[in-house]
């Protein structure tokens, strides 16, 4: 009975962390779309738009590198609350007059937002490992898939809200609305989120932030190239292309990208059903499946790039191709997310997960920079070709995982 009561309390605290993560994700998705569309309409080039997000991704890399150490040292509840507070600060910085919204100012606000986002992500995903027994890999896969899938669904909703609210209320008022709502969530979290989930009994050494586990290193490398492959066309190139080539409105762009992310998240939540017979096997077997899925995925960017040459049908072919890419990408991402939580050491779960998501952030950073540069210089087709190459590398790396 005592164990049941303890587990019940842990689940309550984890539910609070998840709710915080969801609230944060809505503002994060909306803010990203808001900044992208607002500064695009001001006449910023694709590469300038990419530069606005460089600090967001760069500081995400740094945060993931040390965030796991912070979580193990002080508890995941504290890192979660710090993340929420920093996002409130980032939103507040964007409430200045339009004349002060320079590239440097926005990059600085985005840097704070990047730190906030990855503290939240690390805290939520690391907490799962502390709640699921070692011998219940099916349950672990399910919980990871639900958390990751629901997060991406809400991020998609955030994309839609960013485009819609910008059209309806303008940049300043939208930022104000998000600031008020997230401040309320932060205050509630400070009051009710108390349990030190994931806090290490022994204070970990800072030098331990770098993983010595070969499987985690290979998986982290695969994650880097997996997300570079998505963001090299998704972050800057696609929304600008839809606006320039097909003259889509802000709301239409935000809606499509929202639906893509929502669908991606929905598929992630269903991924455990595809692997019912495999989730109790060794990590080697699961990683081989991940390698095969990544290899399959590498074909889609090439096919989409080829389809852009058909002027009469390029728009519909592009949308269909991106939809299929999203389905296969979601399965890849879900399997990766399960593998890192499963492989991570129980004694230093937040540090292993933090290192892995550091690689994830590096992939987004690389993809973001290339998305703006390659699109401006060579167009969307080149972005898609790079995407295919990155996926081939990701496939090779994940195949090298040999288990714990």
What are the DSSP calls for 221-233, one per residue? HHHHHHHHHHHHH
Which phi and psi (to 5°) does residue 121 adopt?
Answer: -60, -50
**How far is CA 351 from each of CA 76, 78, 225, 383, rounded to the nearest angstrom?**
11, 15, 21, 33
Query: From the DSSP assignment, how many helices (H) and strands (E) are in the chain?
Result: 14, 0
Cβ pair 229, 387 in contact under 8 A: yes
In a domain, 64, yes or no: yes
Residue 70 domain-assigned (yes or no): yes
- Quick one: pLDDT at residue 169? 92
Cα 121 to Cα 64: distance, rounded to the nearest angstrom: 9
Q: How many CB atoms lie within 10 A of CB 316?
A: 11
What is the distance, to the nearest Å, from the Cα of residue 30 to the centroid of all Cα atoms in its chain? 14
- Domain assignment present for residue 379? The answer is yes
- Residue 152 belongs to a domain with what CATH number? 1.20.1250.20
Give the separation between CA 121 and CA 130, rounded to whole angstroms: 15
How high is the pLDDT of residue 196?
60
Q: b vs e for 52-74, b when ≥16 Cβ sit within 10 Å of the residue's Cβ?
A: bbbbbbbbbbebbbbbbbbbbbb
Q: Within a 10 A sphere around the Cβ of 11, how many other Cβ atoms?
A: 12
pLDDT at 3: 45
**In the structure encoding, which two tokens stand for residue 2, read together?**
């005592």
Q: Tell me, yes or no, whether 206 lies in a domain.
A: no
Neighbouring CB atoms inside 10 A of 14's CB total 20
Is 365 a domain residue? yes
Distance (Å, whole) CA 372 – CA 379: 10
CA distance 120 to 117: 5
Q: Quick one: 360 exposed, middle or buried, by C-beta within 10 A (0-12, 13-18, 19+)?
A: buried
- Which residue in this structure is represented by tokens 């401040």? 183
What is the Cα–Cα distance from 321 to 308, expressed in whole angstroms? 10
Domain hosting residue 334, numbered range? 2-193+213-398
Mean pLDDT by 10 residues, the chain (404 residues): 50 74 90 91 90 88 75 74 94 91 91 89 69 63 72 86 90 95 92 64 53 81 95 94 92 89 84 61 68 94 92 90 94 84 69 81 93 96 97 93 62
pLDDT at 282: 53
Residue 203 belongs to a domain: no
Q: Alpha-carbon torsion 191, 192, 193, 195, what sign?
A: positive
Q: What is the pLDDT of residue 247?
A: 92
The answer to the question of residue 198 being in a domain is no
How many domains are contained in the chain? 1
The predicted structure's pLDDT at residue 402 = 67
- Among 50, 39, 30, CA closest to 235: 50
Q: For position 2, what pLDDT does the model report?
A: 45
- In a domain, residue 207? The reply is no
Tell me what pLDDT residue 128 has: 64
């Amino acid at each position: 009975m005592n164990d049941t009561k303890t587990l019940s309390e842990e689940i309550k605290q984890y539910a609070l962390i998840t709710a915080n993560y969801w609230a944060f994700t809505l503002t994060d998705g909306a803010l990203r779309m808001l900044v992208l569309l607002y500064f695009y309409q001001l006449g910023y080039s694709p590469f300038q738009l990419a530069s606005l997000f460089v600090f967001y991704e760069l500081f995400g890399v740094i945060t993931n590198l040390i965030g796991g150490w912070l979580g193990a040292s002080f508890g995941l509840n504290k890192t979660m609350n710090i993340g929420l507070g920093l996002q409130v600060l980032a939103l507040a910085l964007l409430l200045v007059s339009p004349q002060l919204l320079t590239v440097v100012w926005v990059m600085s606000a985005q840097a704070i937002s990047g730190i906030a986002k990855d503290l939240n992500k690390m805290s939520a995903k690391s907490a799962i490992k502390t709640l699921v027994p070692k011998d219940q890999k099916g349950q672990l896969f399910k919980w990871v898939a639900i958390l990751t899938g629901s997060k991406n669904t809400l991020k998609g909703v955030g994309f839609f809200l960013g485009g819609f609210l910008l059209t309806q209320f303008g940049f300043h008022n939208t930022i104000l609305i998000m600031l008020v709502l997230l401040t309320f969530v932060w205050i509630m979290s400070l009051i009710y989120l108390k349990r030190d989930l994931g806090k290490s009994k022994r204070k970990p050494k800072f030098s331990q932030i770098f993983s010595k586990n070969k499987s985690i290193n290979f998986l982290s490398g695969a994650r880097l190239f997996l997300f570079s492959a998505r963001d090299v066309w998704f972050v800057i190139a696609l929304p600008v292309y839809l606006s320039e080539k097909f003259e889509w409105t802000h709301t239409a762009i935000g809606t499509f990208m929202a639906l893509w992310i929502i669908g991606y998240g929905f598929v992630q939540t269903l991924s455990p059903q595809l692997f019912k017979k495999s989730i109790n096997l060794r990590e080697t077997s699961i990683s081989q499946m991940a390698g095969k899925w990544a290899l399959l995925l590498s074909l889609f960017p090439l096919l989409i790039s080829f389809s852009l040459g058909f002027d009469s049908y390029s728009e519909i072919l592009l949308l269909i191709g991106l939809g299929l890419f999203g389905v296969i990408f979601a399965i890849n991402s879900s399997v990766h997310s399960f593998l890192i939580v499963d492989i991570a050491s129980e004694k230093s779960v937040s540090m292993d997960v933090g290192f892995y998501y550091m690689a994830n952030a590096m992939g987004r950073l690389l993809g973001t920079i290339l998305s703006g540069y390659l699109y401006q210089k060579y167009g969307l087709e080149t972005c898609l070709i790079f995407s295919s190459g990155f996926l081939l590398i990701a496939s090779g790396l994940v195949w090298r995982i040999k288990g714990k």
